[in-house]
Amino acid sequence: MNRPGSLLLSVLIGAMGLGQAPAARARARLLTTGRIGAGLTDNVDLSPRSSDEPGARTAQGDGFTELEPGVLLTLGDDRMAHQLGYHFLATLFFDQSAVNSYAHRADWLSFYELGERQRLVLNASVSYGRQNMLTLLSAASGGTPAAYRSGRDQFLSLEADQGWFVDFAAPWALEQTLRVSAFLPQDTPTQPKTVSTEAGLALTRSWDRLQLGARLAQEYTSTLAYDSAPRDPEQPAAPAPPRVPATHLMVTTLLATSGYELDPEWRGELRLGVLRAAAADDPNAQLFHPAAQAALRYAVNETEAELSFAHTVRQNLFLADTFLLEELRLRARLPLAAARTEAPSWLAEGSVGYEHGQSVDLVRGAIGGPGVDLLLGDAALLWRLHTWMEWSLRYQFSYQSAVGGALALPEISRHLALVSVTFRYPPERMPTLQPRERLNPSDPAEWQRLLPSERPTALPEGGASDPTNRRP
């Protein structure tokens, strides 16, 4: 490395607080990535199939092309890893250019080994794009359904995560997490702007194959006031539509946690407890309800599968409403060719996610108002042709339907098929995680794959990210 490059690398290491790691051991890489694809969809902007309103837009199909150039800067050694990336995603429709979507996404991912018993995970991201293509921003193994309003509005999404994991006195372990996120529609007065924070603390005691513990989480979500209906530009003197008042929701969850390793490949998890949902500005508006999470996971090398269930209360950022949710997800990743190389030549992945939500009335402490049913199916076939090139064929189906007439949410469905080629330079092993896929902050093994060293790194245990509607 030339002298200016060595000086820049030393400055980066010092700025990231890594003075304890020798600069000579750190390795930096600048990677360029790209993806080109073409697809078809029968609903370009998530519109309802039919509408009784005169002149209302209904579902229309079209073909489209996707272009996604990007750049990744990685820096790491045996005790830390960083990845800074930027990606631009352009979705260009053949006939309906008015719904073209241009999205920007920047990510910073980092992992530190603070000692033999401590690990620190930090990441942050910012996304800007058009809402009608939100579901394409997740990987085929995501399977997280989320209810949207129809339309093609621009949005800005911000998110930051932090996790600290310490084995302070074996076999005891402590986990502390923090997440801050915001979903901000742009120039759309009828869409709510929402900010959310969540803090969690967990204590676990481990035996040979059994783990028992407890987890306490506190979430605060604030939705700003917004217009209940669009203004009529042809009648500027008309009275403004009524405003939907701001809401401030706090959800406290206390869970008893357990995990059991059935064998080296299979693991089961169960969490049971109670939650309290309350309006932050009205302590009498509250609801107590049981909470539950369960998961069964299988993982060996690059083959992994997970079946999970969750029963909880959460506020949907896109709809600005609080729901009691039952979520069921199944996801899998399977190599189809047992090639004796660093990565399989063929790989299949996919997921199915279903969510049923009922609106919660905190003032009355009641459940059973208008709700929503959601279904998302996603599957992909990947062909790793070279260490620097990967072809993929992807299909996605999404459906949402309002339950009860009081919720202003149309019935929406969409089929989408996409074929694309992904490449990166300089040539390296094609990563399992795609550039747009988020890492799971509660599974440090995933972060090991960012380490730019020659030694083999750990593969994930198949843990899935928290199934929420908080992020697009």
State in Å, rounded, how far the first CA of the chain is from the last one.
40
Q: Which phi and psi angles does 200 have, rounded to 5°?
A: -140, 150
User: What is residue 89's predicted lDDT score, i.e. its pLDDT?
Assistant: 86
Q: pLDDT value at position 21? A: 43
Whether the predicted pLDDT of 252 surpasses 80: yes
Stretch 179-187: mean pLDDT: 85
Tokens of 28: 């930096």
Q: Which of 181-190, 261-270, 304-313 has the lowest mean pLDDT?
A: 181-190
Higher-pLDDT residue of 384 and 46 is 384
Confidence (pLDDT) at 307: 93
Task: Give residue-wise pLDDT tens across range 118-157.
Answer: 889 898 999 888 765 555 545 555 545 555 555 557 788 8
Specify the pTM: 0.75
Select the more confidently predicted residue: 110 or 344.
110
> Which range scores top for mean pLDDT: 54-68, 69-83, 261-275, 309-323?
261-275
Tell me: the pLDDT tens digits for 158-174?
A: 999 999 989 877 789 99
**Please, which residues bridge with residue 200 across strands?**
177, 217
Where residue 365 falls (left for φ over 0; alpha for ψ -120 to 50; beta otherwise) is left
Query: Per mean pLDDT, which of 41-45, 109-113, 287-291, 435-439 is the most reliable?
Result: 287-291
Predicted local confidence at residue 76, as pLDDT: 78
| Residues near 408 by beta carbon (within 8 Å), at least 6 away in sequence | none
Mean pLDDT across the chain: 75
Separation between Cα atoms, residue 160 and residue 435, nearest integer Å: 17
Q: How far apart are CA 273 and CA 384, in angstroms?
A: 44
Check whether 17 has a pLDDT greater than 50. Answer: no
For the chain, give the percent of residues with pLDDT over 70: 70
At 437, is the pLDDT very low, low, confident or very high (cuts 50, 70, 90)?
A: very low
Closest to 416 measured CA to CA, from 400, 397, 393, 391: 397
CB 306 within 8 A of CB 464: yes
Task: Count H helices and E strands in the chain, helices first.
Answer: 2, 20
The whole-number pLDDT of residue 14 equals 45
Structure tokens at 414: 């969409």
What's the burial of 464, exposed, middle or buried (CB within 10 Å: 0-12/13-18/19+)?
buried
Domain chopping of the chain, boundaries: 3-234+245-450
Average pLDDT (51-72) is 83
Task: Give, for 5, the enclosing helix (H) or strand (E).
Answer: helix 3-15
CA distance 202 to 191: 35
Kindly indicate the confidence band of residue 343, based on its pLDDT and cuts at 50, 70 and 90.
low
Are 141 and 333 a contacting pair, CB within 8 Å?
yes
Query: Three-state SS across 209-227?
Result: CEEEEEEEEEEEEEECCEE
pLDDT for the residue 47 = 78
Q: Quick one: fold of 3-234+245-450?
A: Porin (2.40.160)
- pLDDT tens, 88-116? 988 888 998 887 888 898 999 888 888 88
Q: In this predicted structure, what is the pLDDT of residue 235?
A: 66
Q: How confident is the model at residue 357 (pLDDT cuts 50, 70, 90)?
A: confident
Give dist(CA 347, CA 338) in Å, integer.
Answer: 10
Which of 6-10, 200-204, 345-349, 435-439 is the least confident region? 435-439
Mean pLDDT, range 291-304, rounded to an integer? 90
Secondary structure (H, E, C), 293-314: EEEEEEEECCEEEEEEEEEEEE
